[in-house]
Amino acid sequence: MLYHMVNYRRQHLDSIFSALGDPTRRAILARLEREDGLSVSALAKPFAIKLPAVIKHLDVLSEAGLIRHSKTGRTVTVEISTDPLREAMAWLHRYERFWSGRLDRLAAYAEKKEREARGKRA
């Protein structure tokens, strides 16, 4: 039982990060963050790709749980769903301690090298 829960969560995180890995999908989410509740055609308008390609991107985002849609008549409205983003951020925060210390050391090293280079030029 625990294995299945862990495996499901891993697969769910995989689908979230995979969906976020595409710049078009990130742009769609950014647009929905600014203007939530857009129709599919309004959402597709600024992109240089055809409507079927946008719909495929929306399917990937929907499968990852990053968006939800509703249909009224012939109009499909798309909204952002923030729970999966929170889940991804929580996962990233657990590992932040590994890279934040390394980034601090890298910054200190770069500053030291910059001071040394200035000292040689003076």
Q: Which two tokens stand for residue 11?
A: 């697969």
Q: Provide the residue type at 121 as one letter.
A: R
Q: Which two tokens stand for residue 15?
A: 């689908």
CATH-assigned architecture of domain 2-81: Orthogonal Bundle (1.10)
pTM of the model: 0.71
Q: Measured between alpha carbons, how far is 105 from 108 in angstroms, rounded to an integer? A: 5
Q: Measured between alpha carbons, how far is 81 from 36 in angstroms, rounded to an integer? A: 10
What ranges do the domains of the chain cover?
2-81
pLDDT digits (tens, 9 = 90+) for 35-67: 989 999 999 999 999 999 999 999 999 999 999
pLDDT digits (tens, 9 = 90+) for 63-85: 999 999 999 999 999 999 989 99
| Contact by Cβ (8 Å): 78, 40 | yes
